[in-house]
Structure 1
Amino acid sequence: MPRLQGNGLGIALMILATASFTLNDSFLKLATEEVPPFQALAMRGLGSTILGLPLLFALGFGRHTGRMFEKRVSVRNGLELVCAMFSVVGLALVPLADLTALGQTSPLLLLLGAAVIFRERLSPIQIALIILAFIGALMVAQPGGSNFSPYVLLGLAAAATVAVRDLIGRGIPAEIPGLVIAVGAGAITTVGAGIAALLFDRLTMPSLPTVLFTLGSGAFLVAGHVLLLAAYRAASMSAVAPFLYMATVWALLAGMLIFGSVPNWLALLGIAVIVVSGIAVVALERWPKKANVPLELSP
C-alpha cells in the first residue's frame, strides 16, 4: 500500500482536521443545551488545556511551552478566542450546518483581504466568485425570511476573524509545534471565556454528561488545530485549501444525525454555492497567472 506524502498527506490531514472541528462544534453545541455559551466555552478551553499539557510533555515538546506566549502566537490565539466567542453563541442558537456554511467564507475573505491590504492581484473571475459566495451566504442566512435569526450572522463574523487569524498564523515559525499553539489557544480561551461567563452568564452547575461533552469538544479542538497546522506544513496551500470545505459536508451530516436538523432547500443551495465558489477561487490560484487578466483592488 503506497505511503501518503506531500500533497496527498496534506489533503488527508485536512479532511481529518475538518472532521475534528465539526465534532468539536457538535459536542460544544450539546453542552450549550444545559449551560450558558461562555461557560461552555470556558469549560472547553479548560478541558483542552488539561488534556493537551500532559500530551505536550509526553511528546517531548515541554521545552517549547514558553513559546506559546510569543507575540505572534498570542495574537493568533487571541483571535481564536474572539472567533470562538462568536461561534459558541451562534452554536447555541442556530443550526450547525448553517453556521458552518457561513464560516466557510473565510478563505474567500482571506483572499479579498490580501488584495485590499497587500495589493495582491485578483482576476475579474475571482472577484465574481467572491461576490457569488456572499450571495450564497445570504441564501443561507435568509434575512427577512420567516426562519431568519440575526445570530446566524455570527458565522460571518467568525469567518472574518478566522481569515485574520490564519493570515497571522501562517507567519508562525515552523519550529513551534502545532500542539504548543493549540494548548496556548486553550489557555487563552479558558481565561477570556471565563471572564465573559462571570460578566454575562448565569452560571449553572453542569451535569456529568455536559462535562464529558466539553472534554470531548476540547479533545477534538486540540486534534483539529494540530491536524490543520500539520496539513498546511505538509503540502502547498493551494492543494489543501479546497478541502476546508469538507467541514460543510461533516456539519450537514452531524446536523442530521445528532440534532435532527435539515436546512431548507434555499439554505442547501446557498451552501452549495459557497462550496463551489470557494473551490473555484482556490483552483484559479493554481492556474498560470498569465491566463487571467489581473485587476488590482485599491483600499
Structure 2
Amino acid sequence: MPLSPNLRGAVYMIVAMIGFAFNDAITKHSSASMNMAQVMLVRGIFASTLIALLAWRQGALASPRLAFHPLVALRALAESGGTLSFLLALAHLPLANVSAVMQALPLAVTMGAALFFGEGVGWRRWLAIVMGFFGVMIVVRPGFEGFSPYSLLALASVVCCTVRDLVTKKIPAEIPTLLVSTTTAMIITILGALLLAPMGGWTTISGPDLTLLAIAAVLVLIGYQFVILSMRTGDVSFVAPYRYTALLWSMLLGLTVFSDIPDFAMLLGSAVVVASGLYTFYRERVVGKPRNAIESTGPTMEPDGI
C-alpha cells in the first residue's frame, strides 16, 4: 500500500534527523582524539567537496560573484559562531543535552521574526516561546547542581543560528541556496584551519577516524537532502514536528555509545521545549501562516556548517 505524500514526507524527515543525530555522535566521538578545530577542518574538506560538486552539477556556481553579497557574508559569520560554539558544547556535554537546547531554535527564530521583521505572533505563540525557553533553562539548570558552563555555548549556538536563519530570509532569491551552502562550508573549513594551532595543533588521524569524519560529512548532506524532499513532499505543518525525533535519536545514541543516562531535569526540560514547539507549529497551522523549509526544519535543526 503506497504511503500518502504526508506520510512519505514524515519518513523523509525522520531519515534526515537520523542522519543529523549520527553525524553529531561521530563528531562527539572524534573530539576524544582531536580538537574541534581539526574536526572542522577535516570534515569541512569532505563536506565542501561534496556540496561544491552538487552545486556545480545543478548550476549553482554559474555566478560565483553572488557569494560575495553582504548578507551571504553575514550569514556565514553567524554560521561560523554557531558551528564553533555547538562543537565545543558537544565535546563537553551529553549529546542529548545539546540536542535538547537546540530544539529551541525554531522558537527563537519565530521570536526574532516578530521582533525584527514585524511578523505577527499572537499571545498564544508568545506564551509557547516563553515556556520553550523555560524548558531550556531546566535543561541548562543555571545556578543548580549539574550546571555546566559549556551549556552557555549551546545557548550561544542557538543565538548565532537564529541570526543566521533571520539573515537567510533576506538573502535575494536569485542567489542559489547551494551557492550559499558551498560558501558556508568553505568558510567553516577555513575557520578550522585558522583555529587549529590555537586549539592545540594537529593530531595524527587514524584510518578509522578519517573514515568516520568522511561518513559524517555524507550524513550531513543526506540529512539536508532528505529535509528538502520532506518539505517538497508533505505539508510543512504535518512533517515539521517530526524534526523532534532527532532528540529521541540523540538520547538513544548518547545512552548506547557514550553511556549518558538522561536525568530528570533533562527529560522534563526537553518535554517542555518539544511541547512548546509542537504547539507553535499547531498555531501556525491554525492561523494559516505559510512557511518554507528554511524557516521550519532544515537549517533550524543545528548549524549547517558542521
Per the shorter chain, which TM-score range?
0.7 to 0.9
> Once superposed, what is the RMSD of the aligned Cα atoms?
2.6
Match of 1:106 in 2: 105
Match of 2:210 in 1: 211
- 1:252 is the counterpart of 2:263: no
CA distance in 1, matches of 2:136, 2:280: 16
Residue 220 of structure 1, CA deviation: 1.3
Match of 1:38 in 2: 37
SS of the residue corresponding to residue 121 of structure 1 reads: coil
Question: Once structures 1 and 2 are overlaid, which stretch shifts more, 202-211 or 79-88?
Answer: 202-211
Superimposed CA distance per residue, residues 79-128 of structure 1 (whole angstroms, 9 cap, x where no aligned partner):
32221101110111000100010011001011111111122232222222
Residue 271 of structure 1, CA deviation: 0.8
Question: Once structures 1 and 2 are overlaid, which stretch shifts more, 170-179 or 71-80?
Answer: 170-179
Identity among equivalent positions (%) equals: 30
TM-score (norm 1): 0.84
Change (3 A) 1:54 1:136: same
Kindly provide the amino acid, as one letter, of the partner of residue 262 in structure 2.
Answer: P
CA distance in 2, matches of 1:190, 1:159: 21
Aligned residues of 2:46 and 2:214 also touching (Cα < 8 A): yes
Kindly provide the amino acid, as one letter, of the partner of residue 47 in structure 2.
Answer: S
Kindly provide the amino acid, as one letter, of the partner of residue 147 in structure 1.
Answer: G
CA distance in 1, matches of 2:126, 2:282: 14
CA distance in 2, matches of 1:65, 1:14: 31
SS of the residue corresponding to residue 10 of structure 2 reads: helix
Change (3 A) 1:52 1:120: closer
Match of 2:283 in 1: 284
SS of the residue corresponding to residue 69 of structure 1 reads: helix
- 1:2 is the counterpart of 2:5: no
Match of 1:142 in 2: 141
- Name structure 1 gaps, 5 residues minimum: 290-299
CA distance in 2, matches of 1:213, 1:9: 29
SS of the residue corresponding to residue 200 of structure 1 reads: coil
Change (3 A) 1:60 1:127: closer
Question: Once structures 1 and 2 are overlaid, which stretch shifts more, 89-98 or 171-180?
Answer: 171-180
CA distance in 2, matches of 1:131, 1:30: 34
Superimposed CA distance per residue, residues 231-271 of structure 1 (whole angstroms, 9 cap, x where no aligned partner):
44555543333222222111111111221111111211111
Kindly provide the amino acid, as one letter, of the partner of residue 224 in structure 1.
Answer: G
Match of 2:114 in 1: 115
CA distance in 2, matches of 1:226, 1:278: 23
Match of 2:96 in 1: 97
Match of 2:240 in 1: 241
Aligned residues of 2:133 and 2:273 also touching (Cα < 8 A): yes
Kindly provide the amino acid, as one letter, of the partner of residue 193 in structure 1.
Answer: G
Q: Count how many residue pairs are aligned between Structure 1 and Structure 2.
A: 287
Change (3 A) 1:259 1:67: farther
Change (3 A) 1:230 1:286: same
Match of 1:82 in 2: 81
TM-score (norm 2): 0.83
Change (3 A) 1:64 1:268: farther
Aligned residues of 1:179 and 1:226 also touching (Cα < 8 A): no
Kindly provide the amino acid, as one letter, of the partner of residue 81 in structure 1.
Answer: S
Match of 2:185 in 1: 186
Residue 68 of structure 1, CA deviation: 7.1
